[in-house]
Amino acid sequence: MPKPTKGPRLGGGPAHERLLLANLAAALFTHRSIKTTETKAKRLRPLAERLITFAKRGDLHARRRVLSVIGDKEVVHVLFTEIAPLVAEREGGYTRITKIGNRKGDNAPMAQIELVLEPVAKKASAKKTAAKKDAAAPAAEAAQADESAVEEAPVEEAAEAGAESPEEGAAAEAAAEEAVEAPEEAAASEEKSA
């Protein structure tokens, strides 16, 4: 939880600030993007993200906690049914603040705060790609060794594919091993006789 700011509130006392941020959050969830001052956007971000986290939980208690802040049932419904499923895979960072210059009348710094609803793209780190390259060389050698083992025992795979329970699978595996060992023993006995 962010530390509360000291000094003057946004335009008045703490109650006015609480209501102002609740209305900004409702507008953000309704329109998915709003323009406001930078200070208000920065103060809105933790509140909006906390409410989205409640919406991701989706239970009745979370819905009532959000209703105690926002108060508009339609906005809460939109948050829980439309926005929460879109950010279900995202772990935080549900909002984006973009500075858009100063306001014409009073030169106040303005910003646009919007919901980040794009799907999460997994990034591969440099260490993981290097580890994959290092593991690829021994894996290629192991793959060649596995190919020769697969040629010798195709019966095992067929037996495992048809098994329906662990007991049947174990019995089929034992039968497959015996089938593989029988030709090997026959070949060994032919070498001894020759």
Residues 108 and 143 in one domain: no
Residues 109 and 26 in one domain: yes
The first and second tokens of residue 107, run together, are 């030169």
Strands annotated E in 63-192: 95-102, 109-115
Residues 30 and 83 in one domain: yes
Centroid of chain to Cα 70: 27
Domain stop point among 91, 115, 139: 115
Q: Which CATH number does the domain housing residue 80 bear?
A: 3.90.1030.10
Residue 178: give the domain boundaries.
126-193
84 and 56 Cβ atoms separated by less than 8 Å: yes
Q: Which of 110, 67, 116 is nearest to 96 (CA)?
A: 116
Per-residue pLDDT of the chain (194 residues; tens, 9 = 90+): 767 777 778 878 889 999 999 999 999 999 999 999 999 999 999 999 999 999 999 999 999 999 999 999 999 999 999 999 999 999 999 999 999 999 999 999 999 999 999 988 887 776 666 666 566 655 555 555 555 555 554 444 444 444 456 666 667 777 777 766 665 565 555 555 65
In-domain check, residue 169: yes
* Cα–Cα distance for residue pair 42/116, rounded to 1 Å: 15
Residues 20 and 78 in one domain: yes
